[in-house]
Amino acid sequence: MVRLHLSDDNRSLMSNQTDAPELQTQRLILRGPRLNDFEALYALWADMAVVRHISGEPSSREQSWSRLLRLVGHWQLLGFGYWMVTARNNGRFLGQVGFGRFKRAVIPTVDDWAEAGWVLKPAEHGKGYATEAVLRMVAWADVHFDGRATICLLHPDNVASFKVARKAGYAHYADGHYKGEQSVILMRPPGGRPANAP
């Protein structure tokens, strides 16, 4: 059996490897996932207020570890993925936003599109961070997704995320089902204009 020992130097080196571009807004930095994001990511997904309209169950450490690896893998294999959202003034972890290709068993299928998603810590809700981050990520998508639409999949009761989605230019595409639950699929055409745009 081969045992791999990672020294602190190796951990430091590995924690900064990502293919995700850094994006900025007036208040936020969106950066690629790092190894040292694990504890913050675990705390985020273990919060019932966060998962209420997603899985309905807090994530275990094992599930959060797999999530972190999946986030890095998206950038490595697909050239897009999720960013960690941090406060520009002090580096505070706020949540994550981005695009995924999850091979979900959604009816109707959504496999043809990158799926947008966003999750912020409950303490950071109501400050406009989600809208600010999502507007920045869809602007990135408009340049990098080669004229392709994106979708998002929301629970019908997730009122706050519907508001964010509409502000970013997402509109109803289809009613669907995922894991026996109702869902709503929204689509944003490339260059889609926010709902408030003239």
| CATH code for position 52 | 3.40.630.30
Q: Considering the domain boundaries, does residue 107 fall inside one? A: yes
Q: What is the pLDDT of residues 49-99, one digit of tens each?
A: 776 767 767 888 898 999 899 999 999 999 999 999 999 999 999 999 999
Tell me whether residue 195 is in a domain.
no
- Distance CA(173)–CA(184), nearest Å, equals 8
Range of the domain at 166: 22-188
Domain-embedded: residue 9: no
Question: Looking at the domain assignment, is residue 86 inside a domain?
Answer: yes
Residue 11 covered by a domain: no
The predicted-structure confidence for 99-127, as pLDDT tens digits, reads as follows 999 998 889 999 889 999 999 999 999 99
What local confidence, expressed as pLDDT, does residue 56 receive? Answer: 62
Residue 10 falls inside a structural domain: no
Residue 14, domain member (yes or no): no
* Amino acid letter, residue 184: V
- Can you give the pTM of this predicted structure? 0.86
179: left (phi over 0), alpha (psi -120 to 50) or beta: left
| pLDDT surpassing 60 at residue 149 | yes
Mean pLDDT, the chain, as a whole number? 86
Residue 175 within a domain: yes
- Helices vs strands, H then E, count in the chain: 6, 8
Report pLDDT for 196. Answer: 45
∠ CA 5-7-8, rounded to 5°: 145
| Total of domains in the chain | 1
C-alpha 118/C-alpha 95 separation (Å) is 8
Q: Is 10 exposed, middle or buried (0-12, 13-18, 19+ CB in 10 A)?
A: exposed
